[in-house]
Structure 1
């Protein structure tokens, strides 16, 4: 193996680290089509100058996504033997070659070749001359190449190795994707070598202080808007300046001028400080409503376009996200430019993670080996120097999940000396010796409460370190694992986080599903699709966005939970501004009053200026609120009419760079009048027997089994009790070890058998049944009571658990069920759904904040949520009534008491459970309905806590009622 691949040097021949600068000097973009040659093992000698045997690929890009070798996904494990710093003999290598032309007058002397990101190790030649080597995949590398350039034709050759000693620092829960995946640029000699902007804001006086360190010192700094021109190192006091914040991202354009070169710099005045045990900016404590973001594109991997970066940030702003942790490496520098412009708080994380050493009990961990300190410090230095001028970056993160190690002390000491104006963060060292924050991941709510009150258990043996840790502010580095259907419990987390000042928010894991879409394939792939034995399966499919950047229901839930405006009504209507700095003057407040989901009247709410952190009473558009029932409350009667609701919405008053005027920022619903429950008295007449059928209220039943065969002339199948759902990723838990699914299966809920014990026909039809699994003594006694009502047929279901039920950690005595309801099937011609209840999207017990009461309509297919890995999805909650019709508008109307959850799909639960990809789901000849009293909560146990007790569907005796009516045509159940 070539020595530079396995040594502990960060590289050879590299220039000193410096800021990413926008210069007026000439530059040559070297992105595009490059010649390429793939080697399963590293070749010896330099890259050949022959013309035959070369293919082409796109740079920036990854060769494993362009037809060579294969991508690999692991969560924690290294995909090679742990033998630091050694690499496998089979080390895939790609030779890249790019020809480019330089005009005779192009300034070659002192030219610099810059690589923004190459994974994981590379060597460079220019015109056959070896220039240098580099490691640090997501960091810039620059080389002096002026001496070897020539007028006219030049050739750049780059040999990239997938594995290197640096790979031991890059085990970051993501696809291993080798290649030149960020920009390559040839820069004319920089006169302005480096710039370091220090722009502070005094929140007491409203003034600013500006100092800019520049190489060379002969440069001049000009800030036209402030009328400033001054020399490097000179401190300028500005009596009045507008500060930068994520809420009001005020930037001032400046230029650094020297020797004919002009460098453009955008300045944001802000001061980061730790005060009274809290992180503050401009004198005020921050609260992070954040997300963790990997760089990902389903077609291009980490070769993400600037357009996709802007789309990410616009979506974050549109969904009320105010902070991003750049998990687990520095992003493309253009991303931070956009954070400055659009306004997000940033934790910039160093390109270090040694997580795979958990499999050696951390033996050999580079973080605690002084021999690795130079390579680790080089990574910290390159990040800090590159990104130091971004006002959005307020925290430097030393690494992720690399245990405790003395080298972090080296990184922290250097960073504090170089840039004392930012805070430091590192979660995994439980002493927090080098961090300005106490931080954990996926913390249960009860522990979070203790941390908020500073009554958590002792975690450090050293009394001085323990006292220091206990005085630190707390931030959730990761929480609410957004894998598959979920996360659940976001509102519970938010309530605790907002209750205690010490808790300064957190960062949801994570922003986007890492599904890859390979050429000619319609399904997204994840770990294990390429024959690899060690992989993380679908653990990379854990984002708030689907791979194509479509928001998931989880992101819509997060938007509602973290909205920066809260509208409440107890004794009066109050608008609360939860922001830290900005007023609400950029918003207008609209209201609508609805009766049974139909608009009665609407208007604009007059709201005065609301300062940050303040609540203001406003005049309500209605005289009084007769009842205060939060949207989503399950404690209501059903089959009712006359519900009157007020909905208040806060929307953008004018266009913003991230959304158009009218974009909804926040909303609230208030029930003005609760609905009266109409009597559903039975109609006279007994059950009629006709041969092998029994007839009652428009239903035809099998005389032997009591099974419903036809309903108002429509062929149907059942309904019968259903306690099982296609497990979600959170049900399955990390590695399939979640107690919920394990114990649900142990209780036999996935293999229930139905036995009919009696069919009793009289004034009503009563079917008594026992539902139980093979091999166990636990069961559910079910009584189905059918009775004719005016214009319809009413079903009452009474369930009584029998025997011993396997408990869970949350329900140790009684156990829990995934769902409780009935399932039935109707003809495939049923394709349209209209309902009055929660919507428009899916909702579950602990992910229901985004569901508002209204009338909604869509197709059966549109009810589905297309998770990359199919699982339980599509439930609509608190449904008062639902109409399911064919293309002509004929079908069924279902009403519930209490309100029910509705799911309708073209495949069975069993087919959904077996599917591993979307294409596995093939529509059948029926539509399968679940009409549920309730479902178990979602939680985030794929990598976090399970659903809490409040959202657990306990095994218990219960009763619920459904009423079926004919709908459409001339049927008596027609509703206008």
Structure 2
């Protein structure tokens, strides 16, 4: 085994020879290059990214001492791209675990079989760097590493997701050099890096060299103070230098004009001062950036400056004096192929998607993101909660059951204080100049005690301008000293709980939901309820949905079928299954319908009806800093899904938090046989950095006040004669162009046909089961225990009567029950077939008083192969549920069965259309069945049954049926966010003990209608 100091288990050693942390920057030779932000344009920068020699060992004890020597022969080693993660390159074990440590909990000790990765790289150093100080910077290495340069030990560092910088001037030479790095999978710091994520290892962020003047500016801290409101700002640039040097600087506005200059002779510490009158402020909606250029010797350092002020006044979170709601998401570093190595364009893609969906806040869960990501947040305009790389969640589960006391242990122990502090200090020092940062977070799910308090107090002493967040202090067993925390933070508090907090006058701090509305699978289903409360109460400052993306790993089955893998798919133990598949977007960045729902719920425009008869509406601007002049407003009036009038509104320029009354010049009839619907769409007038002109920001719909009258043709429907005859248990009903049959033994229709075209593949059946969603995970067992997943229908009686030769009525009494359980519900069904071939059914249902609420109740039909076209009047174009329907528009839609399907990585209930008025499922020639009801119903059409979806653990396991399954539901319970959030609200449950459901089924040839 290699003979080195075992720093990886020594709490007294967090680093050896590592430079004191500083603000992030790259030195350039001139202002033009610095402005570009392109690192390669600096003669003082040299990347070490690229191909390295690599050797993996299952244990550090296998490492031979000679590997880092200059003479070591590594020619037979593997090639590995840096930056990258071992596990996605075939080394070590891919493993996903949420809370539990992947090794025995014995802090600060880690397993003796501690995997090690050896890296070796040869590179050249230019002679132009001879008189320069030379530094090597590792932006991120998980979990700890030893560094050798030209065979000499250069340093050690741990703390995975913040930079480690070493002065290697004495070790480098002109020409060829060799660097060797040993990375260990685990160290004592791994106890503080127990985040809910795949456990990746390696040099996963960039590595580069910097050449510096022998005396240079080492650190810059830009501080700002405002006077006379926001009419004047003073920028104080605190400098730290490595010796006595002349420094000059210039501050330029966004147009490149100089607005201030200063210079000073600095020896160690110094300050530059700039005063700007009537500054253009920075905010997420209009992220105006000034640029500060600091000149020192041959170097130019560039820093974006966003003038903004963050305050909390009377319990209200404010930016630039304006109350702001944080409409956020939690974002992990996650790439489906690269793991936690995130390319720049991938970061940009995330941010553009967020902008397009009205998100203004990012919590960097649960560690500082790549420094380039922070630059992008400044530029695109996001409020960032910058979170320390600290989570020790597994301490709470290290006992047999959850122990809330244990999770606080590391924060209580003085020997861990330096480790805790190190993570706050390195984050703050790196990111302190970013205007996008509006909160410092002291980590996540790590208990709360004196070590956290030390972190917060140091942070406040270093930068009092930014408030401090930490949710763990809300624990009942946490240290009660929360003086250094500026808001109360909660995870997954219910709507009722946050409303109670907002109404409690004793609570003086704002409330921030650092995690809420768990977006796992088909969800979340409670966004509107949260945001109704957040907008209502000033003390509620908003929150961040958990979470941004599914963490699936792109892989394939043995036969080459691609899929996204989750915990356990690689034989990893322990694992937490598909709990990492809990995002608003897929791993390859395709929005789930939950993201569309969030976009609508947090939209920056609210449109309310004032007098719809006169066409007047009230438009409220929910932007905090910009008016609405950048938006266009298009309107249309539809009658039963067909456009009858349309146009554009004139200028709407409501000020931030203001409103404007607008009149829409439509003309309405007094009566109509159809429903009149008004749709307003708000879209961008001009292209932005994140969306094209015409992109829709939000919309709103209103049913217009037109009295509905019945069509006169309805009275003719009973005039056609029919014939009915019974053979055994089968009742056949024939008309002019149809033939239907009922099974009187089962009490169900078994055949529907028109002109000889069969519309049913199997007898209809009543059903209450849906494939459990991820958010049903805590309810699934109760449903199954009650027998909901295995119901059988019992028919007690079934009789039929012919009425006047023009209709037939079939009446049955039935129940549904599951094996080994009491009957779930009883009901009466009255079926009627008239001379047009229309089948109507009226179901009167009584559910057992002690039964848990139903997943759904409705009629399931299996239609033959070829029934691939779905036309309906209802909400679309994507799925909707009683609690997840803000993002859909009422309209007339024509789709295929495949287009009705939402493809979740873990198969589950999907694709339902809430609020359907009528639907036709047919073949491409229009031959099918029209479904309607006196009341809107829930429609689901697909090529999978609920049982198919329930059995499958991955979407590739689904075998698409040729037949088409149609569900016509009285109601379906909502989807909620109970996988991690609160229980489904009562109002969204199918919990009625008695109800009536009516349906009409009419075989049609659409082209003849």
- TM-score strictly above 0.5: yes
Partner in structure 2 of residue 78 of structure 1: 101
Distance 1:206 1:868 in 2: 52
Counterpart among 596, 602, 607 of residue 567 in structure 1 = 607
Counterpart among 231, 253, 277 of residue 206 in structure 1 = 231
1:375 is the counterpart of 2:451? no
SS of match in other structure, 2:426: helix
1:222 is the counterpart of 2:261? no
Partner in structure 1 of residue 830 of structure 2: 785
Distance 1:33 1:112 in 2: 20
Counterpart among 192, 195, 208 of residue 220 in structure 2 = 195
Q: CA deviation at 1:803?
A: 4.6
Residue pair 1:322, 1:344 contacting (<8 A) in 2 also: yes
Partner in structure 2 of residue 907 of structure 1: 944
Q: CA deviation at 1:592?
A: 1.2
Partner in structure 2 of residue 731 of structure 1: 776
Residue pair 2:130, 2:174 contacting (<8 A) in 1 also: no
Q: CA deviation at 1:969?
A: 6.5
SS of match in other structure, 1:321: coil
Distance 2:443 2:293 in 1: 33
SS of match in other structure, 2:1000: strand
Partner in structure 2 of residue 291 of structure 1: 329
For normalisation by structure 2, the TM-score amounts to: 0.89
Partner in structure 2 of residue 934 of structure 1: 971
Alpha-carbon spacing, 1:189–1:671, altered in 2? closer, same or farther (3 Å): same
1:529 is the counterpart of 2:549? no
Distance 1:425 1:274 in 2: 13
Residue pair 2:744, 2:799 contacting (<8 A) in 1 also: no
Partner in structure 1 of residue 145 of structure 2: 122
Deviations along 1:500-556, one digit per CA (max 9) or x if unpaired, are: 111111111111111111366612111122223321111111111111111111110
Give matches, 1:914-925, under 5 Å: 914-925=951-962
Residue pair 1:251, 1:267 contacting (<8 A) in 2 also: yes
Partner in structure 2 of residue 611 of structure 1: 655
Residue pair 2:336, 2:554 contacting (<8 A) in 1 also: yes
Alpha-carbon spacing, 1:515–1:543, altered in 2? closer, same or farther (3 Å): same
Distance 1:799 1:262 in 2: 79
Partner in structure 1 of residue 584 of structure 2: 544
Distance 1:174 1:829 in 2: 43
- Alignment: residue pair count: 933
Give matches, 1:262-661, under 5 Å: 262-359=300-397, 360=399, 361=403, 362-363=405-406, 365-430=409-474, 431=480, 432-454=482-504, 470-518=507-555, 522-571=562-611, 572-622=616-666, 641-661=673-693
Alpha-carbon spacing, 1:677–1:573, altered in 2? closer, same or farther (3 Å): same
Residue pair 1:687, 1:765 contacting (<8 A) in 2 also: no
Alpha-carbon spacing, 1:129–1:649, altered in 2? closer, same or farther (3 Å): same
Q: CA deviation at 1:952?
A: 1.0
Partner in structure 2 of residue 21 of structure 1: 25
Alpha-carbon spacing, 1:201–1:652, altered in 2? closer, same or farther (3 Å): farther
Distance 2:670 2:14 in 1: 69
Counterpart among 708, 720, 723 of residue 749 in structure 2 = 708
1:760 is the counterpart of 2:788? no
Distance 1:344 1:37 in 2: 40
Give matches, 1:661-810, under 5 Å: 661-672=693-704, 673=706, 675-676=708-709, 678=711, 679=714, 682-683=718-719, 685=721, 688-689=724-725, 691=727, 692-695=730-733, 698=738, 699-702=740-743, 704-712=745-753, 713-716=757-760, 717-732=762-777, 738=778, 740-763=779-802, 764-789=809-834, 791-801=836-846, 803-806=848-851
Deviations along 1:415-469, one digit per CA (max 9) or x if unpaired, are: 11111111111111133333100111111121111101116xxxxxxxxxxx7xx
SS of match in other structure, 1:661: coil
Q: CA deviation at 1:46?
A: 5.0
Residue pair 2:116, 2:184 contacting (<8 A) in 1 also: yes
Q: CA deviation at 1:769?
A: 2.5
Q: CA deviation at 1:153?
A: 2.0
Alpha-carbon spacing, 1:267–1:650, altered in 2? closer, same or farther (3 Å): same
Partner in structure 2 of residue 47 of structure 1: 67
1:62 is the counterpart of 2:100? no
Partner in structure 2 of residue 810 of structure 1: none
Give matches, 1:93-104, under 5 Å: 93-104=116-127
Distance 1:804 1:450 in 2: 31
Which stretch shows the higher mean deviation, 644-653 or 689-698? 689-698
Partner in structure 1 of residue 48 of structure 2: 30
SS of match in other structure, 1:198: strand
Q: CA deviation at 1:711?
A: 1.6
Residue pair 2:96, 2:572 contacting (<8 A) in 1 also: no
Partner in structure 2 of residue 636 of structure 1: none
SS of match in other structure, 1:535: coil
Counterpart among 837, 842, 862 of residue 825 in structure 1 = 862
Residue pair 2:260, 2:275 contacting (<8 A) in 1 also: no
SS of match in other structure, 2:341: coil
Q: Which aligned segments of 4 or more residues in structure 1 are displaced greater than 6 angstroms?
A: 624-627
Counterpart among 158, 161, 165 of residue 188 in structure 2 = 165
For normalisation by structure 1, the TM-score amounts to: 0.92
Partner in structure 1 of residue 477 of structure 2: none
Distance 2:532 2:7 in 1: 52
Which stretch shows the higher mean deviation, 657-666 or 18-27? 18-27
Deviations along 1:70-91, one digit per CA (max 9) or x if unpaired, are: 1211111111111111010121
Alpha-carbon spacing, 1:683–1:784, altered in 2? closer, same or farther (3 Å): farther
Partner in structure 2 of residue 460 of structure 1: none
Partner in structure 1 of residue 128 of structure 2: 105
Deviations along 1:322-344, one digit per CA (max 9) or x if unpaired, are: 11111100001111111111111
1:4 is the counterpart of 2:12? no
SS of match in other structure, 1:315: helix
SS of match in other structure, 2:212: coil
Distance 1:165 1:676 in 2: 75
1:146 is the counterpart of 2:183? no
State the Cα RMSD in Å.
Answer: 2.1
Residue pair 1:39, 1:94 contacting (<8 A) in 2 also: yes
Distance 1:727 1:173 in 2: 23
User: Gapped runs of 5+ residues in structure 2?
Assistant: 29-41, 264-269, 475-479, 803-808
Residue pair 1:718, 1:823 contacting (<8 A) in 2 also: no
Alpha-carbon spacing, 1:626–1:269, altered in 2? closer, same or farther (3 Å): farther
Distance 2:772 2:652 in 1: 48
Distance 2:66 2:220 in 1: 36
Counterpart among 865, 873, 877 of residue 902 in structure 2 = 865
1:133 is the counterpart of 2:153? no
Q: CA deviation at 1:693?
A: 4.5
Partner in structure 2 of residue 633 of structure 1: none
